[in-house]
Amino acid sequence: MKIHNLPSPGDYIDIHSHDAAPSAGIFTVENLMAHEGKTPAEKKGIAYAIGIHPWYLSELNHDDLIKTVLLTAGNENVIAVGEAGFDKLRGPSIDLQRKAFEEQVKISEELKKPLIIHCVRMWDELLMTHKKLRPSMPWLVHGFRGKKELAFQLISRGMYLSFWFEFILRPESSGLLRELPHGRIFLETDGADVSIKDIYAKVSEDLGISLNKLKDIMAENFNNFFA
């Protein structure tokens, strides 16, 4: 895949955001949700993902949303498909969520653009789907706030984890962070009123490494995930 817009050396990488404005020193992956009808406009320091968020999927809009993902995902400013996935607490029937998710996996595979996942209390479904479809593109679970066992189950399937911003800023996340392989983690704001710089500061302290070292790790993970 030709990546049109790449992080510059030393950038903070916000792997999952919404409504991001260009900001010096920050590279953002802006997640467009198909129902919003936004376009991946060329902006400095911003690349895009496009997907169907399960909350906004219905029998009525399914066909249109899939068409939007298909049309938009081919854009050169779009580097990933998603966020796509499963939500037990909100959204349509699991059958429809599964159908839309599998269609988006197919688009990710065909375009060779990795997949960004939203998953709430549907981990068995996600893991089963990964086993069944055996995708060649890597998947990234965004907003992760689960336990170590679950983290390692996902990582053992080749997945990457990006943490829920509130979770990562809490003292309780430090222990989990220290146990995970550095090569599998990403950091994000999810478009919330929180600074990616504060998240990096907390994580570099947790891991006992310098900010620059953490930036190097995130840049390497970015290159591997989007290779």
| Contacts to Zn ion by CB under 5 A | 190
Least gap, CB of 189 to Zn ion (angstroms): 9
In the complex with Zn ion, the residue whose CB is nearer, 11 or 87, is 87
Using an 8 Å Cβ cutoff, are 161 and 138 in contact?
A: no
Cβ distance to Zn ion smaller for residue 11 or 190: 190
Q: How far is the CB of 162 from Zn ion (least distance, A)?
A: 10
- Residue 201, C-beta contacts closer than 8 angstroms, at least 6 positions apart: 211
Query: Shortest distance, CB of residue 137 to Zn ion, whole angstroms?
Result: 19
Q: What is the DSSP letter of 20?
A: P
Inter-residue contact 76 to 41 (CB < 8 Å)? no
Residue 14 or 190 with smaller CB distance to Zn ion: 190
Element (H, E) at 89: none
* Burial bucket for residue 31 (CB in 10 Å: 0-12, 13-18, 19+): buried
Residue of minimal Cβ distance to Zn ion: 190
CA–CA distance, 144 with 67 (Å, rounded to integer)? 28
* Least gap, CB of 23 to Zn ion (angstroms): 18
- Minimum CB separation from Zn ion for residue 158, in Å? 22
Nearer to Zn ion, 87 or 190 (CB): 190
Minimum separation from the CB atom of position 205 to Zn ion (A): 25
**Rounded-to-integer distance, Cα 4 and Cα 54, Å:** 28
Nearer to Zn ion, 152 or 164 (CB): 164
The count of other CB atoms within 10 Å of the CB of residue 190 is 20
Q: State which residue, 16 or 113, has the beta carbon closest to Zn ion.
A: 16
**Alpha-carbon span 141 to 117, nearest angstrom:** 5
| Residue 104 · residue 81 · CB < 8 Å | yes
**CA count, 13 A, side-chain hemisphere, 103:** 20
Closest distance to Zn ion from the beta carbon of 83 (Å): 5
Strands 78-87 and 115-120: parallel
